[in-house]
Each structure stands twice: as structure tokens, then as C-alpha cells.
Amino acid sequence: MKKKETKRKTISASELVTTRAKLVGNILYYAGDEFETTDDITDLAMESEEELVDRLIDILDYYYDQYQQLS
């Protein structure tokens, strides 16, 4: 019996690392002063991509709120 071939789109490891690197890099850029210990950085690195996205959104919301208060 012949095996049925399935075509799946695979995501390379480099694409995942790039996404994580962008998220972590931007979190550290916009809120790096909030990370006071290496444990804080380790906890950040252990977050899932979804958690990182949520954290970045929260940071951007904070900056938006601060801008609105100044306007």
C-alpha cells in the first residue's frame, strides 16, 4: 500500500528564534529598566511567544496612556 503524502508548511527554527528575538528585544528596549535582576531576565526568556506578545502590548498600552495624559 502506498503512503499518502501530506504537504505541511513547516516553520524553521530560525524563524521562531527571530520572532522571539524581536519580541524580547523590543520588550527590553521599551521597559528594560523594569528588569532589575538576572532572574527577571530569565523569567522573561521563559515566557511563551503569546505571553511575550501580551507583555509588549501592555507596555505599548502604558506608553499610549502616558501620551494621552500629556495631551
Of 48, 25, 21, give the one whose Cα is nearest residue 35. Answer: 25
- DSSP state for residue 34 in the 8-state scheme: G
pTM for this model (two decimals)? 0.72
Residues in the chain: 71
- Report the alpha-carbon distance of residue 40 to residue 31 in Å, rounded: 12
pLDDT of residue 8: 67
| Cα separation values, 66 from 10, 53, 71, Å | 41, 20, 9
pLDDT of residue 1: 54
Query: pLDDT digit string (tens) for 6-59?
Result: 566 676 766 656 799 999 999 999 999 999 999 999 999 999 999 999 999 999
Contact 30, 22 (CB under 8 A): no
